Amino acid sequence: MGRLDSSALARELDALTVRDQFRVRSRVDTLDPGHPERCFVDGRALINFCSNDYLGLRAHPELIRAASEGMRSYGVGAGAAHLVCGHSAEHAALELELAAFLGRERALLFSTGYLANLGVLSALSGRHDVVLADRLNHASLIDGTRLAGAQLHRYAHADAHACGRLLDRYPDSRLIVTDGVFSMDGDVAPLTALAALAHARGSWLVVDDAHGIGVLGAHGGGSVADAGLDAAAVPVLIGTLGKALGTFGAFVAGDALLIETLIQRARTYLYTTALPPGIAAATRAALRIVRDEPWRRRHLQALVLRFRDRAAALGLPLSASMSAIQPILAGSSARALAWSDALLKHGFWVGAIRPPTVPQGSARLRVTLSAAHAQTQVDALVDALGEVVHQGLQ
Ligand SMILES: *Cc1c(COP(=O)(O)O)cnc(C)c1O
């Protein structure tokens, strides 16, 4: 309350340290473009098991070439928001290709996934509306309902019955909002059941598939495509470009009326600079690779199965995730940090995820696998995890 003073800030920061919640950034010095899973961090050579580059595309020569050509044609920055003069032919082509890829009428680019979620929720709901959401949804979805001023009710994680009970209590619920693949747990939402509920009760289902796009589904269409759900079942489909697609930015896909509404009303669309056109060009190249190189998805899936088999054989505390996100439950933040530090000494970079990103008492290592990894690297990681976890590090 009242004026800000620096000793209050210092006390708050100290409190974070005491709770093992103080965060520090590691500095990536270089990456080997031929091997994007290898990097130098704070002077140390590491194998990266914490990036969201699930298909190993972020340093792909085709993406780099497309980005460079896009920059030569349009400059580095977009120069303005889409509705001013920032909407290039590369953006327009990418929107058409995303819509076709996902079987939706239209797609709309946003500058980040965080902004897409704020924009969708504040354009589609307001102070008199009820929004139902999975308890473990991404922070940006929660912040979106806050910005909208909507009444938020959260149901137990991945529990469609619990969502149904909330619908009984709030029959006018406007939106049901869920991650497709949950970002910190790696499990997939019960999309078919949620879509049936939403349809029966006249709410709209909003799916944020940041971690499913490109990875899941026979053609990389994500968790929604994998569940066989079309635009009638999932009217609002959100995805990010900075994860499996290896670039930056996000999109919303849906029917023409939805997209036109977002263009007119989403403030995080209207009042922000468009993505760099070279990034749009690189994303088009990424979509072609997603389509033409299904081996990347198959290799990744094989690595997931191998990781789980070997980790289970060592008695490691796995979660019920079949995706590229494989959490290893630690419990306390101190233990998750100790495990992460010990893995660095073995040459592996695995992030410790702590509250408030995850609920109290569920700090964890978040291992992410990528098509860029070799099987031998995954095997070596599991061996190191076995040693580290069984050393009983606190
Ligand atoms: C990463 C992520 C976002 C945010 O996307 P950015 O483009 O990084 O802002 C939104 N939702 C989910 C589920 C995410 O994992």
CATH number at residue 132: 3.40.640.10
Which domain CATH number covers 41? 3.90.1150.10
Note if 243 is an active site residue: yes
The answer as to whether 93 is a domain residue is yes
Closest-lying ligand 1 atom to the alpha carbon of residue 138: 13
Per-residue confidence (pLDDT) for residue 392, from 0 to 100: 67
CA of 207 to the centre of ligand 1 (A): 12
81 shares a domain with 70:
yes
Per-residue confidence (pLDDT) for residue 258, from 0 to 100: 98
The answer as to whether 103 is a domain residue is yes
**Residues 350, 394: Cα–Cα separation, whole Å:** 17
- A 10 A CB-CB count for 139 gives 12
Q: 114 CB less than 6 Å from ligand 1?
A: yes
247 shares a domain with 138:
yes
Closest-lying ligand 1 atom to the alpha carbon of residue 209: 13
The answer as to whether 322 is a domain residue is yes
227 shares a domain with 124:
yes
CA of 325 to the centre of ligand 1 (A): 14
CA of 383 to the centre of ligand 1 (A): 31
113 shares a domain with 35:
no
Q: 250 CB less than 6 Å from ligand 1?
A: yes
- Name the residue of 114, 121, 213, 268 whose CB sits within 8 Å of the most ligand 1 atoms, as the mutation to test its pocket: 114
Q: How many domains does the chain have?
A: 2
187 shares a domain with 74:
yes
Q: 113 CB less than 6 Å from ligand 1?
A: yes
218 shares a domain with 133:
yes
Query: Of 250, 267, 292, which residue sits at a domain end?
Result: 292
321 shares a domain with 244:
no
The answer as to whether 366 is a domain residue is yes
232 shares a domain with 190:
yes
306 shares a domain with 273:
no
Boundaries of domain holding 142: 61-292
| Strand-pair partners of 236 | 206
Short-list 123, 115, 121, CA closest to 274:
115
Catalytic-role residue among 51, 88, 111, 183:
183
Question: For 138-150, how does the pLDDT look when each residue is reduced to its tens digit (9 = 90+)?
Answer: 999 999 999 999 9
- Altogether, the residues listed in the chain come to a count of 394
Per-residue confidence (pLDDT) for residue 386, from 0 to 100: 97
The answer as to whether 11 is a domain residue is no
Per-residue confidence (pLDDT) for residue 66, from 0 to 100: 98
| Strand-pair partners of 178 | 207
Catalytic-role residue among 82, 91, 138, 243:
243
Per-residue confidence (pLDDT) for residue 4, from 0 to 100: 87
143 shares a domain with 230:
yes
308 shares a domain with 243:
no
Q: Which long-range contacts (CB under 8 A, 24 or more apart) does 97-100 make?
A: 97/284, 97/287, 98/239, 98/251, 98/253, 98/287, 99/253
The answer as to whether 362 is a domain residue is yes
The answer as to whether 191 is a domain residue is yes
Q: 185 CB less than 6 Å from ligand 1?
A: no
157 shares a domain with 71:
yes
The ranges of the chain with pLDDT < 70 are: 1, 392-394
- Name the residue of 140, 157, 208, 223 whose CB sits within 8 Å of the most ligand 1 atoms, as the mutation to test its pocket: 140
CA of 391 to the centre of ligand 1 (A): 34
Note if 138 is an active site residue: no
Catalytic-role residue among 60, 82, 91, 211:
211
CA of 77 to the centre of ligand 1 (A): 22
